[in-house]
Structure 1
Amino acid sequence: MLQDTFGRRFYYLRLSVTDVCNFSCSYCLPDGYQGRPDEAFLSPDELVKAARGFAAMGTQKIRLTGGEPSLRSDLPEIIERIHTIEGIQTVAVTTNGYKLPQRIKRWADAGLTQINVSIDSLDPIEFKHITGHDRLPEILDGITEAKALGLTVKVNSVLMKDVNDDMTSVLHWLRTNPVTLRFIEVMETSDQEVFFRQHHISGGTIKSRLLADGWQPVLRKVADGPAQEFWHPAFAGRIGLIMPYSKDFCATCNRLRISSLGKLHLCLFAEQGIDLRPLLQPDVPLSAMIDAVTRHLGAKKAGHDLFSHASGAMANLSQIGG
């Protein structure tokens, strides 16, 4: 089992398959994607070898991220191959939901067990303003299809002051929809310093409101992500809060990240990354990658430096999978 010097165990790998995204969200890529060619990204064989190595080290959950993972035509193949790895209990994808109704069944047939869909507003006009795309009805249809296929569905919504911090529509939607909607605090990156100052709001304000209205905390599982989740008997759905600026946020860290270029990131907001790609080649024994990850994990810090306005290698959230 992977364990750092602070006793934290790592059951969860976020594996980026591309940093390309076709949306232009105001908090991430307001000018659209400006990046590298597709051939720079990890191949299916490299991605599967990374997943095999982490499974051998005790990882139970692998989330395929981007950018937008669905822009890779070989995503179903990647899902299927990772799904068959011994020890992997959950294969998840985070997506913006583009063409989701046409794609979700193929992903589910390949072995997908969980999907996280980014929806920053349930108002179609506001959604288009944030993302640059008028696709909210299509995305909601895709979520309905995913639930019908038996997938665990979560919705991600970046919490922005004076944009989507009024929870009225969210609460109305969750009364009858059995999904978890997670509010994620806006995080500062080098590309978005001004946006952060204008729109950051603490998730603690939402948490206080939920507790006052009778919402109760949900117990965490070992491979769960960073969200604090809450349930209420009058609602079919749940609300989650991801609050990187809260006290002791990093104390429960259980996940590592590999970028689409094969860099191991010990923290979302940290160093430039440790290059694992040479160790993912067919002529290199899997034990070499396992040894490298184990060795480098000793350098993982107790927490991030966001309070010092240091975002490490992160110019935008699409770079290493958010």
Structure 2
Amino acid sequence: MNAIQAFSQRHDPGRAVDPSQVEPRTGRLVDGFGRRFHYLRLSVTEVCNFRCAYCLPDGFRKTAPHSFLGVEEIARLANAFARLGVAKIRLTGGEPTVRGDIGEIIARVAATPGIDKVAMTTNGWNLHRHVAAWHAAGLTNLNISIDDLDAAGFAAITGHDRLDQVVAGLDAALALGMRAVKINAVLLKASAPESFDRFAAFVKARPIAVRFIELMRTGDNADYFAANHVSGAVLAAWLEARGWSARPRGFDDGPAMEYEHPDYLGRIGLIAPYGAGFCDSCNRLRVTARGKLRLCLFGEGGVDLRDLLADDRPDAVAERVTAALAGKSAGHRLHEGRPGDTRHLAQLGG
């Protein structure tokens, strides 16, 4: 069996879970395929201050008024989803930390009864200055986007020469004892083999997970995708050849298959949306910065929830969300080159 065949069989998040080790939870969010949803990715802005080549190579451009959800609306939304059995909320963007009230947002979400984990995904541009305050406000989990540990490569991808500051923020988060600190890195053809070595060295003595994410086709990046996409099988083969082994997924983990090695404190993972069975264990829903429920990152349209957030109406939100779940499809259609109406990842928070 070659590496690609092995990857297709093994990278199935649904098969990686050991049911005897999963904490049972009840919740009302179940779709027509029996998948249970206990994880919400909540975008708080579409604005991003980086110019990543695979997402916003020309930078963020305002196309509509910035009428993003306010703090009170976010608090009400978090409460409604918590009452539906959601225990983990991830704040995303764009870049969520461009909001001056992100600390207040974290605090309000963390204070929601039933919410056990408050996570955030950030490019880390000002992490070293504010991570202690965010942690004190209730931030428990942190994902930092670092696409290359080579300074020149980082600047070429992001448009900013800030790698040292981002790594300083990551190390500050580790020093605070946060529940989990992870790195997200987009898997790119040009840097793939060399970047594996750099990230493996980085996690040798750091108890963090680096997750490589297969480059995904969006509405705006067709040419870039064609030139830079590489299968996650390349990373899987690299890891297995060096003695790394796959570990079971936790109850509310995302879609990453993580690998561990006895000689390393950290882990290396793979998020492979083009791999077999990727959508089988989907456990998250998304709400956009303007209050629309998205059943799939690569779907179309959405269900507006914002009209129910003007006052506290969790039962009405619950009714609309559970009704919408009946229409969730079995999986995305990326294999057909159809990314839905997702123009770029900053639009919906990835």
Could you tell me the TM-score, scaled by structure 1's length?
A: 0.98
Residue from 193, 196, 203 that aligns with 1:174: 203
Does 1:308 find its partner at 2:336? Answer: yes
State whether structure 2 residue 137 is matched by structure 1 residue 110.
yes
Q: In structure 1, which of residues 156, 162, 179 is the aligned counterpart of residue 190 of structure 2?
A: 162
Secondary structure of the corresponding residue to residue 108 of structure 1: helix
- Does residue 277 (structure 1) correspond to residue 309 (structure 2)? The answer is no
Contact 1:215 1:230 in 2 (8 A): yes
CA distance in 2, matches of 1:38, 1:74: 18
Corresponding residue for residue 111 of structure 2: 84
Q: TM-score by structure 2 length?
A: 0.90
Task: Kindly provide the CA deviation profile for residues 285-307 of structure 1, in whole angstroms up to 9, marking residues without a partner as x.
Answer: 21111000000001000000101
Aligned-pair Cα RMSD in Å: 1.1
Q: Does 1:141 align with 2:168?
A: yes
Q: Distance in 1 between matches of 2:313 and 2:170?
A: 40
CA distance in structure 2 between the partners assigned to 1:7 and 1:186 by the alignment? 28
Map 1:160-239 to 2 at 5 A: 160-166=188-194, 167-239=196-268
* Structure 1 SS opposite 2:89: strand
Q: What does 1:237-276 correspond to in 2, within 5 Å?
A: 237-276=266-305
User: Shift in Å at residue 210 of structure 1?
Assistant: 1.2
- SS of 1:257 mapped into structure 2: strand
Match for 1:294 among 311, 318, 322? 322
Q: CA deviation at 1:208?
A: 2.1
Task: State the secondary structure of the residue aligned to 1:156.
Answer: strand
Q: Comparing 58-67 with 213-222, which one deviates more in the overlay?
A: 213-222
**Partner residue of 2:35?**
8
Matched, 1:129 2:188: no
What are the Cα deviations for residues 268-290 of structure 1, in whole angstroms up to 9, with x where unaligned?
A: 000111111111111x6211110
Could you say what secondary structure the match of 1:20 adopts?
Answer: coil
Figure out how many residues of one structure are paired with residues of the other and give that number.
321
Task: Please give the alpha-carbon distance, in whole angstroms, between the structure 2 residues aligned to 1:18 and 1:66.
Answer: 5
Deviations 1:158-201 (A, max 9, x none): 00101344211111111112110000000001100010011111
Residue in structure 1 matched with residue 84 of structure 2 by the alignment = 57
Question: Does the aligned pair in 2 maintain the 1:46–1:280 contact within 8 Å?
Answer: yes
Letter in structure 1 aligned against 2:85: G
Counterpart of 1:79, as a letter, is I
Specify the alignment match of 2:70 in structure 1: 43
Tell me how far 1:212 sits from its aligned partner: 2.6
8 Å CA contact retained: 1:266, 1:297:
yes
The answer on whether the counterparts of 1:95 and 1:116 sit within 8 Å (CA) in structure 2 is: yes
CA distance in 2, matches of 1:54, 1:220: 23
The yes-or-no answer on 1:19 pairing with 2:46 is yes
CA distance in 2, matches of 1:196, 1:109: 39
Percentage identity across paired residues of the two chains: 48
Distance 1:37 1:179 in 2: 38
Distance 1:36 1:48 in 2: 26
1:186-243 CA deviation, whole Å, 9 max, x = no partner?
Answer: 0001100010011111112211221232212121112111111111001111001000
**Pair 99,37 (structure 1): closer, same or farther in 2 beyond 3 Å:** farther
Q: Looking at both structures, which has the greater relative contact order when contacts are Cα pairs under 8 Å and sequence separation is at least 6?
A: 2
For residues 254 and 212 of structure 1, the distance between their equivalents in structure 2, rounded to whole angstroms, comes to 31
Name 2:345's counterpart in structure 1.
Answer: 317
Partner AA of 2:327 in structure 1: A
Q: What SS does the aligned partner of 2:346 have? A: coil
Q: Report the AA paired with residue 40 of structure 2.
A: L
The 2-side partners of 1:117 and 1:285 are apart by 34
Aligned position for 2:99: 72
Unaligned runs of 5+ in 1: none
